[in-house]
Chain A
Amino acid sequence: MTTDLFRALPAVDPEATHRLHQRLVEAAHAAGLLDIAYRTLDTPVGTLLLAATPKGLVRVAYASQGHDLVLEGLARDVSPRILRAPARLDRVAREIEEYFAGRRRAFDVPLDLQLSHGFRRTVLAHLPEIAYGTTASYAAIARAAGHPRAVRAVGSACASNPLPVVVPCHRVVRSDGTIGQYVGGVPAKELLLTLERPA
């Protein structure tokens, strides 16, 4: 009856939707309300989710971790004021692209480690000490973190690393030389270590 009046109106106006979304991102940023900006980035290890607070990069996630789930976790644990805002992550995206192209050995972006606490955070702080192209054992990291017997805890710190690739937990391997586990799956870890291996 009455719905025929509005039937011809498309439900979504994609152009206006896009324009208004951009305008919202800019206004939110200017008003200090953009607590988390995110984007995705296609890489040789799949599509990565990158998320940043005003303090710095707060989360990198593999597709296998479920990007929607990761964003929901950020909404719960940090803030639900989350918008897709690729421009805010331009620099880190560029650095990750350079890394995968073999032109970058270390990342130079501010990090926000608020998702990691206690010993796990201590472990993450030591990971950048493992140089590009080298590896260290879980036991060696446990020693460096001041708890030589906490080898398993180092493993779980790596498994819960909120910033894989950028904080190089992929360089931590087993003492017997085998590759060990990885938050992004063993094939991704192999790919990263192969990429970094000196020719």
Chain B
Amino acid sequence: MGAPGRLPDVSSKPFEEIVAEHGPTVLRVCRAVLGPVDAEDAWSETFLAALNAYPRLRADSNVEAWLVTIAHRKALDHVRAAARRPIVTDAPPEPPAGAGHPDGWELGLWEALEALPLRQRQTVAYHYLAGMPYRQVARIVGGTEAAARRAAADGIATLRRTVLKGELR
């Protein structure tokens, strides 16, 4: 029994629960694709857009895939904006307080991710951090499932070389 104007087959979970359940994963994905500073802007834009559209989301939707799809587009906006920005070689901008060093940064993993080509970063993030099957990853980034799998494998291989340097199996 829904109120007038609300379809019975739309989600009726309070959005607060959506943020609590999926916010951390979407943040990891944004950080992997964009780095720590732009990631927080992309996360905020993602969840504001999701909040807006949420009353129309069908109850049987895969919420995390829906959020990662929105995050993917918001991150692309940032990537394009960064490409248009003039390159300043000296004195990189200071990250906002608290945003610069997410947990795990000291491991060098996030820097290593930043060094990957965009497509590899995206496929690694969506498959390994968001746990999406390659079929779904391909739907988000475009191209075939095989290409998505290959991009992620290449990305992981590079990460393994640059981060682990043979220390871990």
A residues in contact (CB < 8 Å) with B: 1-6, 8-13, 15-17, 19-21, 23-24, 27-28, 31, 33, 36, 38, 71-72, 74-84
Q: Which 5 A-B pairs have the closest CB atoms?
A: A82-B14, A9-B104, A76-B12, A12-B24, A75-B12
- Whole-angstrom CA separation of A38 from B28 in the bound complex: 27
- In the complex, the answer to whether A80 meets B13 with C-beta atoms within 8 Å is yes
- In the complex, the answer to whether B48 meets A24 with C-beta atoms within 8 Å is yes
- In the complex, the answer to whether B159 meets A33 with C-beta atoms within 8 Å is no
Tell whether A80 pairs with B12 under 8 Å between CB atoms, given A4-B169, A17-B24: yes
- Whole-angstrom CA separation of A175 from B52 in the bound complex: 50
15 contacts between A and B (CB under 8 A): A4-B164, A4-B168, A5-B160, A6-B129, A8-B109, A9-B104, A12-B24, A19-B99, A20-B43, A28-B48, A31-B52, A36-B14, A76-B6, A77-B3, A84-B16
- In the complex, the answer to whether A82 meets B23 with C-beta atoms within 8 Å is no
- Whole-angstrom CA separation of A33 from B99 in the bound complex: 26
- Whole-angstrom CA separation of A81 from B54 in the bound complex: 7
> Number of contact residues on B: which range applies?
35 or more
Tell whether A6 pairs with B128 under 8 Å between CB atoms, given A13-B103, A16-B40, A20-B44: yes
How far apart are B47's CB and chain A's nearest CB, in angstroms?
5
Per DSSP, chain B at the interface is: helix
How far apart are B50's CB and chain A's nearest CB, in angstroms?
10
Q: Does B68 contact A (CB under 8 A)?
A: no
- In the complex, the answer to whether B13 meets A75 with C-beta atoms within 8 Å is yes
Known A33-B52, A84-B16; 9 more pairs at CB < 8 Å: A4-B168, A9-B104, A10-B104, A13-B103, A24-B19, A38-B16, A80-B15, A81-B15, A82-B16
- Which residue of chain A is the closest to B102 with respect to CB atoms? A13
- Whole-angstrom CA separation of A183 from B69 in the bound complex: 44
Q: Does B27 contact A (CB under 8 A)?
A: yes
How far apart are B108's CB and chain A's nearest CB, in angstroms?
10
Q: Does B116 contact A (CB under 8 A)?
A: no
Tell whether A8 pairs with B27 under 8 Å between CB atoms, given A24-B47, A72-B14: no
Instruction: Return chain A residues, CB-CB under 8 Å to B141.
Output: none
Tell whether A24 pairs with B102 under 8 Å between CB atoms, given A80-B14, A82-B16: no
What mask results when residues 1 to 20 of chain B are scored 1 for a CB within 8 Å of chain A, else 0? Answer: 11100100011111110010
- Whole-angstrom CA separation of A88 from B163 in the bound complex: 45
